A = this chain, B = another copy of it.
Amino acid sequence: MKQHSYYNQEIHGNYELISIGDFELAEGGKIPNLELAVRTLGTLNAEKSNAILITTWFSGTSKIMEDVYVGKGRAIDPDKYFVVIVNQIGNGLSTSPWNADESIIRSKFPFVRIEDDVKAQYKLLTEHFGINKLELVVGGSMGAQQTYEWAVRFPDFMKRAAPIAGYAKNTDHDFFLARTLMDTLTFDPAFKDGEYNSIESMKSALSRHGDIWNVIGYSTEMWRKELYKNLQFPDANTFSETFTQAYFQPMDPNTLLRCAWKWQRGDVSRNTNGDLRAALGKIKCKLYCMPIDEDMFFRLADCKAEQEMIPNSEWKPIKDDWGHLGLFGLNPEYVKQVDEILGELLSLDL
């Protein structure tokens, strides 16, 4: 079995690799023996009616979702719910460019779409766990893309959905942003069309990948208010280098690139021949739209335009000067707001 210095259980906590067999992809091609890295917490009740699905974001894994969004006494309480956190395809833990079958390894890894993740998760939930109804689907950023796709594609499968800081249909702006992130990796001479010699050889490129997150991942309010000092970083440069850059430095570029490609193309209107209003109109569950007010690329106004097309939805913005990466729970007030909003949603008698 292949080992990775970063994508392992020592760093990312416990998870189970569950095969859902050979998996055909929307873009063509297939992943032989697709394994999903799945973290579960709590116990599935006899009726199989207490499950919550949590999805993951770009560069994230089940670890941060568990750490920030789940806990005893929290809204998502494993004493009450059976929590299933599924690592997205190609995120480093599930089948990914570094650990895939030789036929699709590294630069040969196929292009995966958000809808592939949702179909794979559907197969996992129904066939492996025997679950046919979810109490809640929730995820942030690319996890929100998956959440929207779930609600549109399988509208009878969940009672509630909570997309946090993400779009149902990705914007042109977001597409261009992801491209600049990808370019930091692909235009580095060490990249060699995805056949780089080592992660170490890509360290400079990965640092510059982090530099773009410094600009767009937080917010100008965070920088002006120097909120990194709350996390014991003495100044902006130290925070930039030892937090943002360092976060990306151990990651696998092919993994980031395939996920960024997926992020760029998230679009529920693929279910309805490009008609976004028709797609969002298919949603039946109660949906809380939870953008972050200072997010610089999943903006309030863009999220609001989508939420207004969703029949049974409510507008639940989160205040956080950290911006998009407030998703990491860097601010205790963020965590508190998420718990309040999700707690309210879960308390609805549906």
Contacts of A171 in B (CB 8 A): 220, 223-224
Closest chain B residue to A189, Cβ basis:
B189
A181–chain B nearest beta-carbon distance, Å:
10
Closest chain B residue to A205, Cβ basis:
B187
* Cβ–Cβ contact B224 & A305, under 8 A: yes
The CA-CA distance from A303 to B143 in the complex, in Å, is 34
Contacts of A187 in B (CB 8 A): 187-188, 204, 208
Q: Which of A52-60, A65-73, A144-152, A209-217 contacts B (4 or more CB under 8 A)?
A: A209-217
The CA-CA distance from A224 to B216 in the complex, in Å, is 18
A7–chain B nearest beta-carbon distance, Å:
26
User: Per DSSP, are chain A's interface residues mostly helix, strand or loop, or mixed?
Assistant: helix
A284–chain B nearest beta-carbon distance, Å:
27
Contact of A173 (CB < 8 Å), options: B176, B212, B220: B220
Contacts of A340 in B (CB 8 A): none
Contacts of A296 in B (CB 8 A): 296
Q: Count contacts on A: residues with CB < 8 A to the other chain.
A: 32
Closest chain B residue to A211, Cβ basis:
B180
Closest chain B residue to A240, Cβ basis:
B176
Oligomeric state, in copies: 2
* Cβ–Cβ contact B211 & A179, under 8 A: yes
Verify if A334 is at the interface (C-beta below 8 Å from B): no
Q: Which of A199-238 contact B (CB under 8 A)?
A: 204, 208, 211-212, 214-216, 220-221, 223-224, 236
Against B, the Cβ 8 Å flags (1 = close, 0 = not) of A319-346 are 0000000000000000000000000000
Verify if A349 is at the interface (C-beta below 8 Å from B): no
Verify if A301 is at the interface (C-beta below 8 Å from B): yes
Contact of A172 (CB < 8 Å), options: B175, B212, B236: B236
Contacts of A314 in B (CB 8 A): none
The CA-CA distance from A236 to B215 in the complex, in Å, is 22
Q: Which of A8-32 contact B (CB under 8 A)?
A: none
Against B, the Cβ 8 Å flags (1 = close, 0 = not) of A264-305 are 000000000000000000000000000000001101011001
Verify if A177 is at the interface (C-beta below 8 Å from B): yes
Contact of A176 (CB < 8 Å), options: B180, B214, B221, B299: B214
Verify if A193 is at the interface (C-beta below 8 Å from B): no
Contacts of A172 in B (CB 8 A): 223, 236
Verify if A183 is at the interface (C-beta below 8 Å from B): yes
A23–chain B nearest beta-carbon distance, Å:
31
Contacts of A301 in B (CB 8 A): 220-221, 224
Contacts of A214 in B (CB 8 A): 176
* Cβ–Cβ contact A299 & B220, under 8 A: yes
Among A177, A187, A188, A220: residue with most chain B CB under 10 A: A220
Against B, the Cβ 8 Å flags (1 = close, 0 = not) of A229-252 are 000000010001000000000000
Supply 15 further A-B pairs (C-beta < 8 A) apart from A176-B211, A183-B211, A215-B216: A171-B220, A171-B224, A172-B223, A173-B215, A173-B224, A176-B215, A180-B211, A180-B215, A183-B208, A187-B188, A187-B204, A220-B301, A220-B302, A221-B301, A224-B301
User: What are 26 sample pairs from A and B whose C-beta atoms fall under 8 A apart?
Assistant: A171-B223, A171-B224, A172-B223, A172-B236, A173-B220, A173-B223, A176-B236, A177-B215, A180-B180, A180-B208, A180-B211, A180-B212, A180-B215, A183-B208, A183-B211, A187-B187, A187-B188, A187-B204, A187-B208, A212-B212, A215-B216, A216-B216, A220-B301, A224-B301, A224-B302, A224-B305
